[in-house]
Every structure is written in C-alpha cells, then in structure tokens.
Chains A and B, each alone.
Chain A
Amino acid sequence: MSGWVSILLGLALVASACGGSSDGDGDGAAPATTAAPATTAAPATTAAPATTAAPATTAAAEEPAADEPATTTTNAPATTTQAPDSQAESTATTTLAPEEAAPEPVFGGTLRLGVEAETDGLNPTVNRFAVSATQMAHAVFDSLAIWDETNSRAVPWLAESFTPSDDLMTWDVKLRPGITFHDGTPLTSEAVLLGFQRQMVDPLISLAVKPMYPADDPDTEAYEPAEIIDELTTRFNLIRPTSDFARYVTGQLGYIPSPTWIRAAMEDPTLNQAPVGTGPFRFDSRTQDQMTRFVRNDDWWNGDVYLDAVEYYVYTDTVIAADALTVGDLDGMHTSNVDAVLVLRDDEDVVRIESDHGSETFGMLNTAGAPFDDIRARKALTFAAARADYLEFIGQGLLRPANSWFPPGSPYHDPDLVQEGDSPDLATPLVAELCAEKPDYCTDGKIDMEFQYSGPSVVQDRIYDILADGWSDHFNITKEMLLQDDHITHVAFGLYDWVTWRQMGSPDPDNDVTWLNCGAIGALSLNWPRYCDPARDELMYAQRGTVDQAERVELWKQISRKVHDDYTYILFTHTLWANGFASNVKNVCGALSPDGVRLMCTVNGWHLTHQIWMED
C-alpha cells in the first residue's frame, strides 16, 4: 500500500524531507568529513568533490551475507542497463552506465515522470511532503543543503555555508548571494526565517521541527529558535549540541519558498497549489490527481537547465505507471511496489535505479499497556513471527530481510545483529510463564492481542494472514483494519497492541532520533512503541553531538543493539525503491553542487531533475 503510515502522517517529515537512502556509502569516510563542523562550510565541501565515488560494491564484497545479497552501485549518468536477473544479485542494485559514455547534453524536451501519489499541496510550510511531493518540490524549490553522491553527507546547496558555534549549540546558515525567487523577490535570510516560523506553527510539521529548538517566549520580542544575523545569514539556536545541521535541511524542512508567496498563500490557501521557489523550474500548471507541470527557469542560479519542462503524472497504481513507461507514455517513474518493479525488470529498454537503503518495513509493539508491556510477550511475538513466509509471499524474492534499520553497505550496519523469528518453540515457555503469572493477559493459555493495520489493502490483508497464522498457536488475535488516518491517530495516541509500519531509513540516522527518544512520548507520541530507555537517549544525543564519525558509527551500533534487545520492533524487509527511465533520459545521476560536489542519484524514489537531458 503506497501511502502507508509514515507518509501520510506528515510526521515523517524528517524522513521524507531528508530522504532515506544511502546507496553506495560503503566507506565511512565521507560522513566523517561532514560531521566535522568547521569543514561542513562550503569551502571544505568543495574541496572534496566526491572523488570517492565509493561504490558500495566494495562494502558489499566485504560483507557477503547469505540472506542479504550484495549491493552494487555505480553512480553515473543513465544510459543502460538491466540489473542481473538472479534474485540474489538483483535485490539491491543500482545499475547505470559509465559517465564517459554520455554524449553532449541536449537542450529541450519535456520530461514526463510518473509519481505514485498526489499531494494535497506544494507549500513546504503547510503541506506534508511524501516521496511524490518531494520529487515535484525539488523542481521548483531548492533546499538549503542536499545529499552528496554517497547519500550520507549533506552538502551546501542553496546555502553557501553552515557554520557552528564552538559548543555546537548554534548554527549560522549563510545563503548564496544574488539569488531571486521566480516572482522576483530576492532570496534573503528573511525568507529563511519566515519559512521556518511557518513550519514551527504548523500543527503537524512542527512536531518534527520543534523538539530541536528552544520554545519561543511570547513575552519577549526576540524569536528564540532562530534569528537574522544579516541579509544572508540566519542563526538557528538548538537545545542540544549538534555536529551537523545541514542534514536536517536537505528536504522539506530546508526548502525556501518565496516570502511574498507564503504571505499570499496564508490569505488564499489555493495558492498552495502554485508554488514559488528558487528552483530550476517554475510552476506552470497543475490539475490535481492528473498532472503538474513546471517549465525551465532560465535564470536559475546554478547554471543550465536542459529540459524545457517537466511534467509529473499521477499514477496511483504504479504497475500501470510501469506499463506506461514501457510503452512510451512516460519517460520515468518511481515505485516501491514489487509487482511494478517486476514489470520494469521485464523490459530491457528501461534503465533502472534500484535501492533498498531507504525506509524499512516492520511491525511495532505498544509497550504502554498489556500485553506488550511485558517483555516476555514481546519476545514470544518476535520468536513466533513467520518471517520466512513474509519474505516469500510479500517480498516475492525481491526484498531483502532486515535485521536492523541499516542494511549491509551502510556504515552503521552491524552484521552480528540478527532479527529473530520463525522459532515458535522459543515462544512456548515464555507464553506459558506469562499466562501463569498474569492470567488477565491470556485466554485459554494464549496471549490476547489486537493486530491493527491500515486498509483496505490487499497486501496488508496478506500480511495479516501470514503473521496471524504464525502466531496462532500462542496468541489470540483480534483483527482491526482502520482507514489510514484513523490508523495513524490510534498509533499516535497509543491505542494499539501491534501494527505494521514503514519508516526509518534516513540517509543520516540522526534524523530518526525523532521516533526513538523518550521526549517524544506523551499523550500524543512520536515514539510509537512508547518505550523509554534513558540510556538509549544518552547514546542518541551523544552521537548527535560528536564530530567523530567512527564514534558515531559505534554509538549507532550500540543503539541498534538496544533497540533489538528491547523487542519493541519486529523488522521484516528493507523497502526496495526503483526508478525506471526511458533509454533517452540522460544524466539522472550527474548533478553537481555549485562547489563541484557530485550529488545524490536517487533517495527513496526521488531524484533531481535540473541535470537531466533527453536525447531526441
């Protein structure tokens, strides 16, 4: 089901805004550079123009795992080719042709891209941007920072530099000079502050933003979370030492809309459909649920834009979008639907970029009430989970099993961490012991639980059937299907026992702290399992505050271990995102920052468009 919880929630803003993949980040060197606050400024970033293409092939070769096939990534403009047919090799593959094969860019043409969902609007200060909206937004907006080609290091984009204070408690974001919005408004720090303030007061978006900043004191004139230093510099005041601010502003939280437009849209919300940014394309037209069109911005601050226009067509069934691509009705599309991926793989002319380094598919247990406030119940559920059947029938041989948030190839991956399952025998004594001790939790010797999911959805029904069958010997399961909004609300308020979910997988795991820390637990909780471990929090804030990437990696391995040992999540698969392109679409992975840094190719299904050109 395409829109799953984390997307609609809008609270997944951090994840969606900041992306979610880490293709080819096999070497941990790049993140280490990023983490150093002084070198995060533009000159330092420019000095490291991603010569370390860091193909994840290396990392994959170092970590061959029988159940976790190798990742192959070759970042370069798109001209070819199919991923291998073999299931084992194809599950996490990014396959593109060598850059040197690309001929000279051609100006002109309209790129027609299929997106999996419509967005309710394109205003980053009020609308929730999932993958499709992010895909569209990057045409019309520029974010302050952007991911480099390793998808793990945020580098300056609309910003010229990010400069921290010595104690890492404040960050100065300086804009590049001489940039104007599409409506002629000059880009200044006033635009940055206004957009930030609007996000801070949005009921949903603010949930992802506010925890990082001090509260605004209405009794003072000053605005405590941020302040304007000069025409181009904005200072952000944080409540904890933060070693890298840029990673938070690579997506929706970093898009800078025109202040003139923001104010107009506050008066007339219909303007949320007609965005005004500084991006490589200007908004042209939009027919909701059908097509949104942007045309080239000839005055873009970062050089040439090759395409005349880019059009985003909504295909809520991405299998049909895949068909549309194969017959020439689209030039590109994205999907996380396994059936659609299979359609793309069947067409030799389609150039594919696949990655499962983004979000994860898992289930969550509510530890705030019976029965999963008792770790024996959580363990029993984990041991008896039918993971093998899940992989066979839901993954269809394409999805890799997940043992932690971090797949092989991620610097944070811990090969010693294994997600248990398929061991109902281990569950039997735990259930017997629990039911003997807490008879209220059980009926007829089985633990009572509710299985909640979002529907109607055929896939979710299948998942229920598979998992419930595996648990039936130890659990009395009540099925509850809720519409998506209700489902999210129930989870946010802790009104569930067990739910299926898709989330996490930000390029930098620090963005996922939002969902794990104790402070996120309340009447309305973003820490969905409502599990507080102060020691885990200490580790998370320690990694946020350190500039030593090796230390961060070690801290995240400890955090992952704690998450595993708490038995609050049962991980199933790494979500596979695939982007397909017609063979005449070139240079998908060839974007450069103004400082010469090679940029991301795809992140969780979205990609940049300004660098793309099309052969006749």
Chain B
Amino acid sequence: MVGFVVRRVAALVAVLLAVTGLAFGAMNVLGDPLFNVVGFIASVDCDAVAAGEVDDISGQTAGGRGDCEVIAEARREHHLDRALPIRYGYWLGDIVRGDLGTSFKNEMPVREVIGEKLPKSVLLMVVAQVIAVGLAVPWAVAAAYRAHRPFDRASTVGTFGLVAIPSFALGVILFYLFVVRWQIFSSRYDDTDLWSRLRSMVLPGLTLGLPAAAVYMRLLRTDLLTTLQEDFVLMARAKGMSDQWVMFRHVLRPSLFSLVTVFGLSTAGMIGGSLVVEQIFSIPGLGRALVEAVIRDDFPIVLGGVVVVATGFVVVNFAVDLLYTLIDPRVRADG
C-alpha cells in the first residue's frame, strides 16, 4: 500500500510538472507576458530610445520614470529577461513556497482568487455528482431488472435524449422553467448560508448532473446485464434468494467498475468548473475565472488554475483506484 501511495504521489508530481510546464510554455509563447504587465508601452523599442533615435512611444511615464525604466523593472520583477525554462523554474520555486503570484488583471493574490472561486465549483461538482449517481443507480437497476421491456426501452430513449442535449440548452430550459416561469429558484448564486448555497446549486447541478446520470445509467445498466449472466448469479437465484437481494447484494457491486471509472474522470473534469453553467446561473466559479484569465492572458491565474485542476484530477483518480479495491478485493492496491 505504501508503495502504491508513493507511486501515486510521484505520478502527481510528474503530471503537475508536465501540465504546468506545457501551460507555462503555451502562455508565454502565445502571448506577450510583458504586455500584460505594462500594457501599451511594452512595444517601446528601448534600444532605439537609448540610442536617441526615437522618443518613448507614448510619451508616458509612470511614477516619474520613463517607459523603458518601467519595462526594465517589469522584466526584472517577472524574470522576463531570463530564458523560458529558468522562468519556469522561478515559478515552480514560488509554487513550492505556496506563492501562486498575483493576477495581472487586478493584482489580487492568485491564491485568494482561486480560494474564493474553487469552493463554488467544487460544491457544484458535488451536487451534480450526487444528482447523477442518485439518479443513475436506481434507474440502471430498474432498467436492468426489466431489460428489453418498455421501461428499459423508454429509458434508453430518455438517456440518449439527455446525453444529446447540450448543457447550455438544458440550462436555459431549466432556467426558463424554474426561474422565469415558475419562480421556484433564484436566478443567481446566493452565498448567504449553506442552505442558500445548496439551493442555488440545484438547477446548475441538474444541468450538469442529468447528462452525467444518463451516461452512468447506460454504463451501469450494461454492466449489470453482463453480471446477471454470471454463474454465481444463477447459483444465488437457485438458492432461492430474492431478485432484490441478488441484485443489490451480488450483482451491483461487481458491476460498478465502469461507473466508478467514468465518475472519477468526470468529477475531475468538473473541478475546473463549467463555463456555460456558471454563466447561465451567474455562479462566480472557477470555470468563468479561468476562461476570462485565458482570454486576458492573465498567466498567474491560468497557471494557478492549472495547478488546482491537475492536482484535483490526480487526487480524484487516486481515490478511484482505491475504490476499485473496495469494490472488488481481488484488485490489489499494489497490483
């Protein structure tokens, strides 16, 4: 078990290095970090200014300094005068010390920004997954129990429909019905207390959870049907056990592998938030913040978000691996 954990931690570190390295490189190559720090004056040709060939491009000064002094200071502060790998090294060093930097947008500490938004996205993920699993398991069991009968066929159609509806469409439909027409839920996220937060997450949770429930249901139903063909099920029935007992005691648990795997992947995916759902339901979560940061080339926020999402992805899948051993003891942690 210790070896398993060590390997997983090593994998976490490797994934983080790979992902942040890629993100850091991409953000630096695709945009000009200097522009994001100093704005328009980034394009001043300081060599030409020093040679007296041209003036400062805008004639602007900041704090009594010339444009080129501002640029030089920004380069020093953000290590922009160093090679990309060295800059990445500086950034990693800051991360290890718990310093995610400050946003180019408003100079707020990235840790504070993410700390404010991440809980909302995590809560949305939890609510969505509770809804998804809460619906999918009994639904799949019922469909498998009545396989190839009308309920099962109707379920198949229903799941295809839910999977086919894009989240923006489902969100807008739910918003219109439950907010505008029937006025059951609020149009925006309410952070007053836990009840308000949970209530705010019902519609967004349904928007994310219903399609996920349909996917889970399809997977679990298929696995249940496969397991129902196993000899041990035939034996259990031959012993006179009730269908419910057989289903929940002997069939369900070994049929959960696919569901758990996909659950882990989708959970990790939801950690980064959902831009569309956050937009429709006015949730100030991580998804919106990250998309805006990407568009603005706000490197510190993007990289901080990458660290959080990548860590979450690895941790959740680590938990899923552990879950496998609980579902089926034959799967060893060190296997």
Contact = CB atoms under 8 A, between A and B. Distances in A.
B58 interface: yes
B183 A327 contact: yes
Contact of A489 (B35, B60, B64, B295): B35
A203 B188 contact: no
B180 A323 contact: yes
Interface stretch (A181-189, A313-321, A372-380, A427-435): A313-321
A270 B108 CA distance: 5
B38 interface: yes
B191 interface: yes
B62 A203 contact: yes
B183 A204 contact: no
A202 B58 CA distance: 12
B186 interface: yes
Interface stretch (A157-165, A282-290, A442-450, A583-591): A282-290
Given A272-B106, A288-B284, A327-B187, A485 B180 contact: no
Interface string B258-298: 00000000000000000000011010100011000001110
B299 interface: no
Given A121-B106, A287-B284, A320-B282, A202 B187 contact: no
Contacts of B70: 203
Contact of B187 (A204, A269, A324): A324
Given A288-B108, A316-B279, A327-B179, A485 B297 contact: yes
B150 interface: no
A120 B106 contact: yes
Interface in A289-324: 289-291, 313-317, 320, 323-324
Interface residues of B, number: 44
B187 A329 contact: yes
A329 B189 CA distance: 11
Given A273-B106, A289-B288, A492-B40, A320 B187 contact: yes
A514 B74 CA distance: 29
Contacts of B43: 493
Contacts of B175: 320, 323
Interface string A504-548: 000000000000000000111000000000000000000000000
A13 to B, nearest CB: 14
A201 B62 contact: yes
A288 B285 CA distance: 10
A127 B117 CA distance: 22
B60 to A, nearest CB: 5
Contacts of A524: 40, 57-58
B107 interface: yes
A121 B108 CA distance: 10
A196 to B, nearest CB: 15
Interface string A201-230: 111101100100000001000000000000
Given A207-B58, A327-B179, A201 B107 contact: no
B282 A203 contact: no
A226 B172 CA distance: 54
B41 interface: yes
Closest 9 CB pairs of A and B: A269-B107, A289-B284, A324-B187, A290-B284, A120-B106, A329-B187, A524-B58, A523-B57, A327-B183
Interface of B: 35, 38-41, 43, 54, 57-64, 70, 102, 105-109, 112-113, 116-117, 175, 179-180, 183, 186-189, 191, 279-280, 282, 284, 288-289, 295-297
Interface of A: 120-121, 127, 201-204, 206-207, 210, 218, 269-270, 272-273, 287-291, 313-317, 320, 323-324, 326-330, 483-485, 489, 492-493, 522-524
